[in-house]
């Protein structure tokens, strides 16, 4: 069977499967559960055949993502047992993050010896990050006030999960805060954040995957190396160039395991959550997805159109890292592929290696939107009526506290709990919404990745260094790196 025929059969099968699923879910006609199982696995077989014919990694990732949903629905215990595979994939990807950030940053700065461009990149990136995350926070506030998803929710009868006990402050910091008046707590916390961006030991920072600390060390090291005499600088510059190239090749090898890791992650999520929790918190979940869609269509898309970014090619560049981020709920897992694809898209390496890692701490658009939306949901569910002024104060607080949120699953919950405590909102509501947090994390992490990828294009266009020809090449992702 030809590839064209397989694509047609796949399209027809998916369409029929969606129609039958809608009929089953809305009880339009009587469809037995056994028939639904048959529909799912016939669809799975057709999708697998399509992936075999296309021999494309992205197709395999998306196919395994859907297969993971089916396994989670029909074999939940098996699905939960697959969780170590997704954890193994994330661990493997995290081994790439430290070396690839250090090598690309140092080579990008010292290899060109243009220290002024580093300063320009920094303030332009920060300005863009601040504007994007602020808009995301206000879109979250607007949507939750329109949908009122928390009003009338019976939180008491929902399953409650244990809240994470992790604190963003150390015991010594907390002790220091106890001896300070409340009006200067925010100053101390801000300075703690600044302090924690500096690496105490670069090996320790790489081991703990502290992205911002690696970036700070890489930038300072690169600047220092750029100030060294050419003869002494060249060996280290050549080493970092070789290391970065080797790590990109390493990434390509690791990505062959991505379909298994993504499928296992999706199977685990569906298997251990079930579907009942979705019915209880459907409005909150839909409010978040609608708000994120609005952010994509009303903020990121207009920016891309204004800058004349080839939308179709950009989607091609981000769909693989986004699908990985969606299934694993970890921005870190998508970082190496996002960096590689954006460089192939036409963004210079020095900009990619600076903007994306920095954005993982300062440009978490999806997370910022979620925090504003979830904060007001908590108030609504608890029956607390917040004025516009109080909501704006929460938004202002989130503009500061959401910066530096670690790019790992559920880290945003720490900020949400801290914000709820600060404004007297009950944390027991947060314990109730933890049931669907992974499903929300999938969406917000995906938007984080899209936002950071677009940020590299914005900064490179602003700097006048974007390669227009590369972005117009339909086969830019298949090209062999030089």
Query: What is the tens place of the pLDDT at every residue in 6-49?
Result: 888 999 999 999 999 888 877 888 888 899 999 999 999 999 99
Which tokens belong to 389?
């002024």
Band (173; pLDDT cuts 50, 70, 90): confident
Residue with tokens 């409340």: 182
| Mean of per-residue pLDDT scores for the chain | 85
Question: Residue 272 — pLDDT band, cuts 50, 70, 90?
Answer: confident
What is the band of 166 on the pLDDT scale with cuts at 50, 70, 90? very low
User: What are the domain boundaries of the chain?
Assistant: 56-472
- 3-state SS of 121-147 is HHHHHHHHHHHHHHHHHHHHHHHHHHH
Task: Give 408's DSSP letter.
Answer: S
Q: For residue 189, what pLDDT is reported?
A: 78
Give this prediction's pTM. 0.81
Which CATH number does the domain 56-472 belong to among 2.40.50.100, 1.10.3260.10, 1.10.3860.10, 3.40.50.740? 1.10.3860.10
Give the single-character DSSP code of 161.
P
- 371-420 tens-digit pLDDT: 899 999 988 888 888 888 888 888 877 777 666 554 444 567 767 877 78
Torsion, Cα of 335, 448, 372, 268 (10° steps)? -70
What pLDDT is recorded for position 339? Answer: 92
* Residue 359 pLDDT class (50, 70, 90 cuts): confident
Give the angle subtended at the CA of 63 by the CAs of 437 and 6, to the nearest 5°: 150
Closest CA to 327 of 72, 36, 20: 72
Q: Is the pLDDT of residue 337 over 50?
A: yes
Residue among 90, 72, 73 nearest 81 (CA): 72
pLDDT digits (tens, 9 = 90+) for 225-244: 989 998 899 999 999 989 98
> DSSP letter at 473?
-
- Indicate the burial class of 432 (C-beta count within 10 angstroms; 0-12, 13-18, 19 or more): buried
CA distances (Å), origin 58, targets 152, 221, 318, 347: 42, 36, 10, 21
Kindly state the average pLDDT of the residues 73-78: 91
């Amino acid at each position: 069977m030809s590839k064209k025929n397989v694509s047609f059969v796949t399209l027809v099968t998916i369409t029929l499967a969606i129609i039958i699923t809608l009929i089953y879910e809305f009880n339009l006609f009587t469809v037995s559960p056994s028939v639904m199982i048959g529909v799912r696995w016939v669809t799975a077989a057709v999708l697998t055949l399509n992936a075999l014919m296309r021999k494309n990694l992205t197709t395999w990732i998306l196919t395994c993502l859907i297969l993971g949903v089916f396994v989670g629905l029909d074999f939940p215990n098996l699905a939960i047992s697959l969780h170590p595979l997704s954890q193994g994939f994330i661990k493997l990807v995290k081994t790439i993050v430290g070396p690839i950030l250090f090598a690309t940053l140092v080579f990008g700065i010292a290899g060109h010896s243009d220290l002024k461009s580093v300063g320009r990149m920094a303030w332009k990136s920060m300005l863009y990050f601040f504007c994007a995350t602020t808009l995301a926070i206000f879109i979250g506030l607007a949507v939750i006030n329109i949908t009122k998803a928390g009003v009338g929710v019976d939180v008491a009868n929902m399953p409650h999960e244990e809240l994470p006990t992790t604190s963003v402050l150390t015991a010594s910091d907390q002790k220091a805060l106890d001896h300070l008046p409340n009006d200067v707590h925010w100053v101390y916390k801000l300075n703690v954040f600044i302090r924690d961006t500096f690496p105490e030991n670069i090996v320790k920072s790489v081991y703990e995957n502290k992205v911002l600390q690696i970036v700070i060390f890489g930038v300072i090291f690169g600047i220092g190396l750029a100030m060294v005499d050419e003869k002494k600088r060249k060996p280290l510059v050549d080493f970092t160039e070789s290391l970065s190239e080797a790590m990109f090749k390493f990434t390509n090898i690791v990505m062959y395991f991505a379909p298994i890791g993504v499928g296992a992650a999706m199977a685990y999520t569906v298997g251990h959550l079930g579907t009942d929790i979705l019915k209880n918190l459907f409005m909150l979940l839909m409010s978040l997805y609608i708000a994120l869609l609005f952010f994509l269509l009303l903020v990121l898309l207009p920016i891309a159109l204004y800058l004349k970014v080839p939308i179709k090619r950009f989607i091609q560049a981000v769909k693989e890292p986004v699908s990985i981020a969606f299934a694993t709920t970890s921005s870190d897992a998508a970082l190496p592929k996002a960096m590689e694809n954006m460089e192939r898209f036409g963004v210079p390496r020095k900009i990619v290696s600076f903007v994306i890692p920095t954005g993982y701490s300062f440009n978490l658009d999806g997370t910022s939107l979620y925090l504003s939306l979830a904060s007001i949901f908590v108030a609504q569910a608890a029956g607390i009526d917040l004025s516009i002024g109080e909501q704006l104060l929460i938004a202002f607080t989130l503009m500061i506290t959401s910066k530096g949120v670690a790019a790992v699953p559920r880290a945003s919950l720490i900020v949400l709990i801290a914000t709820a405590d600060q404004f007297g909102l009950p944390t027991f509501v947060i314990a109730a919404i933890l049931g669907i947090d992974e499903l929300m994390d999938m969406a917000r992490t995906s938007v984080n990745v899209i936002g950071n990828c677009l940020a590299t294009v914005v900064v490179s266009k602003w700097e006048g260094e974007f390669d227009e020809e590369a972005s117009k090449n339909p086969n830019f992702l298949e090209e062999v790196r030089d």
